[in-house]
Amino acid sequence: MLKIFSKKSEEAAKLFFKTDIHSHVVPGIDDGSPSVERSLELIARMKSWGLEKLIVTPHVTQDTFENTPEIISEAYGTLQSGLQDAGIEIDMDYSAEYRIDEMFVEQLEGGIVRRLHGDYLLVENSYIQEPYNIDQILFQVSMKGYHPILAHPERYMYYYDKPKRYNDLHSKGILFQVNLLSLAGYYGKEAKKVAEMLIEKDYVDYLGTDLHRRTHVEVMDKYLRSKDYRRHREKLEGRIKNDEMRGPSEK
């Protein structure tokens, strides 16, 4: 009996969806995985949570991670070869996490952004302040025929004293992707509280691991065994739309 119990507790706890839409496991081009070897390790752990499809999203950020489509596709190719050599099978596609800045506008205008799936684009704000022209840029995004998904809205501290901004953005059709690590408390109490508030308001459209490094894996492993996770799962199961991106993209 004891043996059965310990074997079960060794098994990785599972996520309640199979498609992750936000991670930094493409090696060597942002602040995520530094090498193919580390990427393989992180991806194997993601598989152990029951994930069957990963849409990986390196940063595209002016002055920090100035990734062009060529840079991303080359690094992604290296990752694919590594997975093949290691015999790790997982359905994978790549896009990017676009910081709302001038580089994004250039890539958008140049027609070289790569969608997440369908018409969706994953975008993020600066952590310091809301982009002064966010409304204008998001309007441009929609004029180009894309639907923006805002990455981790719960992590932008400048929204904490004006929660109405969440209502404004969401009612304008901006979809929200909350980080599991926020729900786990990894970024602090306030981010967790805001993430839970977004759940209560039914504003959580997608969840993401936003996995960069081993520490994140450890936090996730612990979170997936927690009461918090069971509570969050009860509220979000059947509501988030991650698995709509499971099949091949039609566009």
Per-residue DSSP letters for 192-249?
Answer: HHHHHHHHHTT---EEE--B-SHHHHHHHHHHTTSHHHHHHHHHHTTT--GGGGSS--
97 lies in the binding site for Fe ion (CB under 5 A): yes
Q: What is the nearest approach in angstroms of Fe ion to the Cβ of residue 49?
A: 17
Q: What is the nearest approach in angstroms of Fe ion to the Cβ of residue 164?
A: 25
20 lies in the binding site for Fe ion (CB under 5 A): no
Pick 205 or 210: Cβ nearer Fe ion:
210
Alpha carbon distance 147, 151 (integer Å):
13
Alpha carbon distance 15, 78 (integer Å):
28
Tokens standing for residue 59: 């940063």
Q: What is the nearest approach in angstroms of Fe ion to the Cβ of residue 153?
A: 13
For residues 204-223, which are near Fe ion according to CB under 5 A? 210
Pick 134 or 209: Cβ nearer Fe ion:
209
Closest by Cα among 44, 45, 128, 55 to 86: 44
Pick 93 or 97: Cβ nearer Fe ion:
97
Pick 101 or 210: Cβ nearer Fe ion:
210
Pick 154 or 210: Cβ nearer Fe ion:
210
Phi and psi at residue 204, to the nearest 5°: -90, 110
Q: Which stretch binds Fe ion (CB under 5 A): 11-19, 96-104, 175-183, 230-238?
A: 96-104
Q: With residue 106 as reference, give the H or E element that holds it.
A: helix 102-109
E-strand ranges in the chain read 19-20, 53-56, 59-60, 91-94, 97-99, 120-124, 147-151, 175-179, 206-208
Pick 36 or 122: Cβ nearer Fe ion:
122
Phi and psi at residue 93, to the nearest 5°: -145, 165
For residues 55-74, which are near Fe ion according to CB under 5 A? none
Q: What is the nearest approach in angstroms of Fe ion to the Cβ of residue 74?
A: 20
Q: Which stretch binds Fe ion (CB under 5 A): 104-112, 176-184, 202-210, 240-248?
A: 202-210
Residues in the chain, how many? 251
How many residues touch Fe ion under the rule CB under 5 A: the total is: 2
> Where does this chain bind Fe ion (CB under 5 A)?
97, 210
